[in-house]
Amino acid sequence: MMQSKKQQNSTQGDNRISFFCCILKILICGLTICILFCKTDSLVDIYVLPKWLAGLFIAGITIPLLIIGHVYLKRSGFTKEEFIRCMGIIVILQAAWGWCKLFVIKDSIVMVGAFENPAGFASCLVIGLPFILNICGKKYWTIVSFAFIFISIILSQSRAGVFCCISMLLVCQCVDIKIALCPVHKVILLITFSVVFIWGLSHLKQGSSQGRVFIIERCVDIIKEHPLGLGIRGFSTHYMKYQEIYFREHPDSPAVMLADDIKVPLNEYLCITVNYGLPGILLLMSLIVGVFIFCYNKRISYKNPFVLSFIQILVFSFFSYPLQYPFTWFILVCILCYLYQSFIIKVLNRTFVFSIIGILGGVYLVVYTSMNYIEERKWGMLYDESSYIQSKNLESLYESIYEEKKSDPFFLYKYATILLDVNNYNRCEEILNERQRCVYDYSQAILWAQYFSQQNNYLVAANFYSNASNMCPSKFYPLYKLYMIHKRLRNINEQRNLRKRILNKKIKIDSDEVRLLRNAILNDTISLN
């Protein structure tokens, strides 16, 4: 009788543990789905921010449960094989959604899936590819799944994604070459093939490649002047100044038609070096090397999907900005947890404080993301209704959420334009200075020019319009506004020069705005007589 009760209690305990593990699996699957698919029209940023908020919210619930499961139940929910299958299947669904949107819904000309551009879509496929190939051990699955993902990346027109796929094949196959080559020679062969392949890809979109080279050159200029870095947001607050200086000194540069308003350097390593200097990039490189040394010492195979995914992140970061997306960070955390799992388990077992910190951290994530969503939702509703509300009323509404949104450059941009509409110049200057601490770009220069122009300070306004024109030499708007300022100041010679520049200027992208500005200049002949 006693034995049957023990068996019954044991069965009930096993059922509770199974139920708990099932909940964890559902949460982790839900987390992955959210950071890949989540999108909402209720926020201003409808693609990336919802993924971050949803992912962090579910992570805040999952982390405490994982810690509790490990400490009290000695279970973590997922085995390695189950995690690999889960990631692989969900990434395949992302690729399938990309095909559906491109060929069935037809709402884009390139494959982007549930992302705002091909970079995010390609990054998730590239990073998830090693897990997809290991869903099952059958050779035909490996070939078919690789072909499906590879074609999806080609349809997204991501050269970085194509290169990462090929490089992964090289990493997997080059080391297994059954010829008399030492490891050093195999590495040299791998690097040589990679360089040749990159050179070939660069000729597919020469304009884009030349633009990337131009950005790298300007970043090198920044690093030379600031080897210790510019600090957090250093790239966004300083890069366009260097671009403006370059085109002011080299107005006939071949890069004139390629230059645009640059937000990111299209290379995570460059971004880290500009922001945190040589010490920052050296620290990062030492950590990366440390991971590979650890894998070598622990005899972790280079074909391990976690190691391959880590390599994919490193390679893709050379050509794009995968760290802007939550899926990259999620996989990166999972990779490090897998590699250093024995150390993490020892820390949790020996020091109860870290378990408490982890649980409190999860609670903080839930509270933080909930409050952040409420703020973003309020801002989204205000943004959607802006066209129906008078500027005077908008001013007070924007001011009411200023404290929560003062680190958002786009919010500050919209707020500054409203303040200009209602002629609140003192507050507008404060907002513009606040925004300039976050970012200095083409839009910022235009805002300053409008600010001074509305106060009849035309010489300073002209200087800012000139700066904006040098930042993005292919744009017509700054030159047109310069023309109108000199018309007001009756500078006939400057008007003639600007008229000639505008009418002889090559058009990068033909649009209604460009045609309208050119026609306005063509028809404005009276003042030049």
Tens of pLDDT along the chain (529 residues) come to 445 544 555 565 567 778 888 888 899 999 999 999 999 999 999 999 999 999 999 999 999 988 888 777 666 667 888 899 999 999 999 999 999 999 988 888 889 999 989 999 999 999 999 999 888 778 888 889 989 999 999 999 888 898 888 888 777 765 554 444 555 655 665 566 666 656 555 556 666 778 888 999 999 999 999 999 999 999 999 999 999 999 999 988 888 888 889 988 889 999 999 999 999 999 999 999 999 999 989 998 888 999 999 999 999 999 899 999 999 999 999 999 999 988 888 887 777 888 889 899 999 999 999 999 999 999 999 988 877 777 778 899 999 999 999 999 999 999 999 999 999 999 999 999 999 999 999 999 999 999 999 999 999 999 999 999 999 999 999 999 999 999 999 898 999 999 999 999 888 888 888 999 999 998 886 554 5
- Write down the pLDDT at residue 210: 83
Report the C-alpha gap between 127 and 158 in whole angstroms: 14
Residues with Cβ within 8 Å of residue 108, at least 6 apart in sequence: 101, 102
- Write down the pLDDT at residue 179: 45
- Write down the pLDDT at residue 71: 75
- Contact 441/471 with Cβ under 8 angstroms? yes
Residue 342 CB-half CA count within 13 A: 3
- Write down the pLDDT at residue 241: 95
Reading the block at residue 47, the tokens are 């693609």
- Write down the pLDDT at residue 190: 59
Report the C-alpha gap between 317 and 272 in whole angstroms: 11
DSSP 455: T
Report the C-alpha gap between 80 and 501 in whole angstroms: 63
Reading the block at residue 336, the tokens are 């490090």
Q: How far is CA 503 from CA 128, 384, 390, 471, 492, in A?
A: 50, 37, 37, 20, 16
Q: Which of 259, 268, 224 is nearest to 240 (CA)?
A: 259
Reading the block at residue 192, the tokens are 């040589």
Q: Which of 462, 371, 454 is nearest to 416 (CA)?
A: 454
- Write down the pLDDT at residue 166: 85
Residue 356 CB-half CA count within 13 A: 4
- Contact 237/417 with Cβ under 8 angstroms? no
- Write down the pLDDT at residue 201: 56
- Contact 320/266 with Cβ under 8 angstroms? yes
DSSP string, 390-447: -HHHHHHHHHHTHHHHTT-HHHHHHHHHHHHHTT-HHHHHHHHHHHHTT--SHHHHHH
Reading the block at residue 253, the tokens are 């540069």
- Contact 161/122 with Cβ under 8 angstroms? yes
Report the C-alpha gap between 109 and 6 in whole angstroms: 64
Class of domain 370-523: mainly alpha
CA dihedral 390, 393, 395, 398 (to 10 degrees): -110
- Write down the pLDDT at residue 180: 43
Q: How far is CA 209 from CA 193, 235, 300, in A?
A: 19, 20, 36
Query: Side chain identity at 391, as an amino acid letter?
Result: S
Query: 350: exposed, middle or buried (C-beta count within 10 Å: 0-12, 13-18, 19+)?
Result: exposed
- Write down the pLDDT at residue 74: 67
Residues with Cβ within 8 Å of residue 326, at least 6 apart in sequence: 35, 51, 52, 55, 56
- Contact 507/513 with Cβ under 8 angstroms? no
- Write down the pLDDT at residue 9: 52
Helix (H) or strand (E) holding 25: helix 2-37
Report the C-alpha gap between 81 and 450 in whole angstroms: 59
